[in-house]
Amino acid sequence: MLYDNIKNSIMIVENYEITQMEWLFVEPMISEEMYTELLSMSGPDRAAQLVDIFNNEEIIQLLYQKFTNTEVRSDTIKSIYAFHQVHGAGYTLKPHVDSYPRVFTVVMYFAKDNDTPEAGTVVYNIIDTEKKEYETSGIAPFRRNSGMIISPTDSSWHGVDMLTKELERESVVLVFSAEPWNDSQMHYADWKPGVTVDYKKI
């Protein structure tokens, strides 16, 4: 089901001439049965299970096929790792780009309901990097059993606007990397599951 859901998702290229960024919003991401099963797990176990689910040749090749406008950083995937996170009111993630060796990034949401779409990942148009001026170009809404997929570039600016409501912004971030998995790839994470793989774009 994951493969079909990604395949049937429409690539969002609105304002591409300005942002130079295309992205996928996938809803639902997985079957309701699997989603319910993931909810019963701890955060780290949920991340590990998603690494297993996404560690699939067909899904990797599909991601390469979907990002037709993006100059994907690498034709090889050497590792997949994930981390679970929960944030609440007052949290914000300033506009940033995911650096190399990230080839694809998936953010899967575990929202309790669909009442706070504004807590999703925002795509930005950077007006002036030195003055830190930017404007919102789009948003992948924070909804249950959904998520955003990007192929990071030097112009794929994204982040999270300040959360002003009381909520739990719970998600798992999966990283498809051009380098083998090791603990130093994400030194700021307390714990993350990861596997070394060897996928090549066909």
Kindly report, residue by residue over 111-143, the tens digit of the pLDDT: 999 999 999 999 999 888 777 788 999 999 999
Which CA distances in Å does 2 have to 85, 113, 145?
Answer: 22, 21, 11
CA distance 81 to 180: 10
> What residues contact residue 52 under an 8 Å CB cut-off, 6+ apart?
none
Give the predicted TM-score (pTM) of the model.
0.94
- Specify the pLDDT at position 117: 97
Query: What mean pLDDT is reported for the chain?
Result: 92
pLDDT of 44 over the 50 cut = yes
> Which domains does the chain carry?
2-181 (2.60.120.620)
> What residues contact residue 94 under an 8 Å CB cut-off, 6+ apart?
159
| Strands, E assignment, the chain | 11-12, 23-26, 76-87, 93-96, 102-109, 121-128, 133-140, 146-150, 158-160, 169-177, 194-200
